[in-house]
Amino acid sequence: MLKIWKLQISLLGIFCAAILVEISIIPSLWAPLRVDFLIGLIIGQVIFIPFYQGFSFVVLASLMMEAFSGARIGLIPLLYVALYLATDLLKEVIYLENVYVQAVLGVLFYFVLAGSTAMITGTSFLGDMIVPLVAGMVLTGLVSPFMARLVGRLQTSYGLREL
């Protein structure tokens, strides 16, 4: 049991580092670009971690994200929890362990999150937002399988799963 929480704390630590990359390093390279690292972690949680633990992780991680966003309180956790539940349902339908499926889900979820946020705030994707949106989708698609795999690797290194 202790190992499981150690794993989750490690994942939260990794997510903190990912937040730093997301809000400081990536915008310093290209200000409008955002890459979502949490989507990959959510996919990894759904594949490798029991539901209740994954759920707690998603709630905690999305609450941490709130601190770095101008979104109304509760909006980001709401979206990510919905995403987690949707992924958990998809687990029964599609083979989530496949790297390509994870990449496609990364792209799709990024678009869904950006689209739903835009819809809630009444913003439309204008000309100058399309390019960063597409770039963000592609990069999130590339990063997601790595993040999902990271969850599995950590689980293995903590001895919670055999290779």
**Cα–Cα dist 36/80, whole Å:** 11
**Cα–Cα dist 109/39, whole Å:** 7
124 binds other proteins (CB under 8 A): yes
Minimum distance of other proteins from residue 21's CB (angstroms): 11
Minimum distance of other proteins from residue 120's CB (angstroms): 9
32 binds other proteins (CB under 8 A): yes
Minimum distance of other proteins from residue 57's CB (angstroms): 17
Q: Which chain residues interact with other proteins by CB under 8 A?
A: 19, 22-24, 27, 31-32, 34, 65, 68-71, 76, 113-114, 117-118, 121-124, 126-129, 132-133, 136
